[in-house]
Chains A and B, each alone.
Chain A
Amino acid sequence: MRDLAAFTKILLALMVSINSFLTTEPLVLAVFLGAEYVSVFFLTKKKSAARALAMLFVFACMLLGIQLLCGSSVTLSLLSAMRMAIMANSMVLVLFSTKTQQLTAALVKQCHLSYSYAFMVTAIFRFVPDLLAESHSVSEAQACRGYKSGGSPYNRMRSYMMLIKPMVFRAIARSENMAVSLEMRGFGDSSRRTFMSETHMVVVDYAAVAFFILFSVCLLRFL
């Protein structure tokens, strides 16, 4: 899957999700689900992807349980649990096989999302590890002043603000410099922008999409 264009992967994920609603046959869904599990082996980050899929599997089982408890029929419950798993898995597969930069390039170039928004998505992921370290140092600093959490939900929320506020305040201060620096780096006018990570659809991509359509039609028609 890593050789396909980002847009192709998005397309495949969408198609498999839509397909899961075109049938009420558990067997067909099982085949789609199986195909997803098999494709994990073609990924570079097998382990972490498998772990994510395993978590979703547990989640699907829980959904199944809740429905049975609420009195749904076994088939219906099984159908919705499998649909959920198929959709969630398809997203995981796209994410684990594509670089964020490639995804945003596909979103801008092929899905016509405005570049500002695509940029925001990548930048958010860039700052997550930094802010995670910051949240750690904030909680250490507050622990050194006797911070303990506990008590009623409202009190807990109030004392939890101790940890959030310094981060929010620092973010506000930082956002001003960031805005200036973005402007200095020519951010804003996206019409003439180059996209280094743009992945174009080539023969393999069209073939993959065609194959998938054929495969699904056969499944939906003859099973």
Chain B
Amino acid sequence: MIEIRDMTYGYNEEKKVIQNVSFSLRNGEILAIAGRNGTGKTTITRLVMGLLKPEQGTVFFDGRDVTQSPAAERSAVIGYVFQNPDSQIFANTVLEEAMYSPLQHGYSGKQAEEKARKALREVALLEFAERSPQLLSRGQKQRLAIASALAAEPEVLILDEPTSGQDCRERVQLLRLMRKLNEEGMSILLVTHDMDILAEHATRMLVLEQGHIGFEGKPAELFSDKEKTEALGLELPEAVRVSAELGLPICLTPAEIYAKLVRRTGTHA
């Protein structure tokens, strides 16, 4: 889907934030990017989106070299959802907000509205279409930001810390939405420092370490190695810790723990 080859980027000459990084986002997967603060997680997604120009390296989309195309152009195929939805909400109504992107991509008003309504239905905000977006809760605003990206009908979605600022209920809803979109075929690039989300939802993960890729593979591979996880500056997911404490084989999700517990005790909860 998206391939990054030999990417290098630095804010100044001495210190490179990203150095010779190569990876690819495969069709239909959720690829998570993790790492300590300041290791360049969002720099990578910005490079993928075209918000930053790499010093070196190439970005391929479906085999096409898109390194030179600006973010506004790439947004037709890649949707980028920022951490704070307040930095993009400008319209008077929820519908108008979601219509912006398709309008920018040359669709007529009618087509744009159709696409916007479809996207709003997808994120369960259609009933609020005529409301002011400012009156939505933080979780709803985040879903609106996702809908405005979806309205352009992209093939890839980049989510930057999508659950920040939301309470546990809203978080569950948002993750469920992410999973649903993924099951419908959307490839997702997820930046997060929440290892619980990562363990439960990521197909694969990348861990950045001083501008390089310190680990690439399945979450289970990394989290079964406690020392390596900690050396990369990450914490073990809660499920992994709890399952170890209970003397169970390593589990990545609460559901797995429950399943194994039930098997062990032989009862049904």
The answer on direct contact between A and B (beta carbons under 8 Å) is: yes
Binding site for B on A (CB under 8 A): 134, 137-138, 140-148, 161-162, 165-166, 169-170, 173
Cβ contact within 8 Å between A138 and B148 = no
15 of the cross-chain contacts (CB-CB < 8 Å) are A137-B82, A140-B46, A143-B71, A144-B49, A145-B149, A145-B152, A146-B72, A146-B76, A146-B100, A147-B72, A162-B90, A165-B90, A166-B86, A166-B88, A166-B90
Cβ contact within 8 Å between B51 and A146 = no
* Chain A residues whose C-beta falls within 8 Å of the C-beta of B111 in the assembled complex: none
With A148-B104, A169-B134 known to touch, is A143 a contact of B87 (CB < 8 Å)?
no
Cβ contact within 8 Å between B90 and A143 = no
What is the count of residue pairs linking A and B with beta-carbon distances less than 8 angstroms? Answer: 65
Cβ contact within 8 Å between B87 and A145 = no
| C-alpha spacing A137/B148, complex, angstroms | 17
Choose among A148, A161, A166 the residue that contacts B87 (Cβ–Cβ < 8 A).
A166
CB closest chain-A residue, reference B89? A166
Q: A141-B88, A144-B149 are in contact. List 19 more A-B contacts (CB 8 A).
A: A134-B87, A138-B88, A141-B80, A143-B51, A143-B70, A143-B71, A143-B72, A144-B49, A145-B88, A145-B148, A145-B149, A146-B76, A146-B104, A162-B100, A169-B86, A169-B89, A169-B90, A170-B87, A173-B86
* Chain B residues whose C-beta falls within 8 Å of the C-beta of A148 in the assembled complex: 72, 104
* Chain B residues whose C-beta falls within 8 Å of the C-beta of A143 in the assembled complex: 51, 70-72, 75
**How would residues 81 to 104 of chain B score, 1 for a CB under 8 Å from any chain A CB and 0 otherwise?**
010101111100000000011001
Q: Does B176 contact A (CB under 8 A)?
A: no
* Chain A residues whose C-beta falls within 8 Å of the C-beta of B72 in the assembled complex: 143-144, 146-148
CB closest chain-B residue, reference A174? B86
CB closest chain-A residue, reference B100? A145
- Nearest 10 CB-CB pairings of A with B: A146-B104, A144-B80, A165-B90, A141-B88, A143-B71, A145-B101, A138-B87, A146-B75, A137-B87, A146-B72
| C-alpha spacing A143/B87, complex, angstroms | 12
* Chain A residues whose C-beta falls within 8 Å of the C-beta of B76 in the assembled complex: 146
CB closest chain-B residue, reference A159? B104
Choose among A141, A145, A170 the residue that contacts B104 (Cβ–Cβ < 8 A).
A145
* Chain A residues whose C-beta falls within 8 Å of the C-beta of B87 in the assembled complex: 134, 137-138, 141, 166, 170
Interface-central residue, B82, B87, B104, B149, by most chain A CB under 10 Å: B87
| C-alpha spacing A144/B79, complex, angstroms | 7
| C-alpha spacing A146/B152, complex, angstroms | 9
| C-alpha spacing A148/B101, complex, angstroms | 11
CB closest chain-B residue, reference A164? B90
Q: Does B105 contact A (CB under 8 A)?
A: yes
Choose among B46, B75, B84 the residue that contacts A145 (Cβ–Cβ < 8 A).
B75
* Chain B residues whose C-beta falls within 8 Å of the C-beta of A142 in the assembled complex: 88
| C-alpha spacing A203/B90, complex, angstroms | 57
* Chain B residues whose C-beta falls within 8 Å of the C-beta of A145 in the assembled complex: 75, 88, 100-101, 104, 148-149, 152
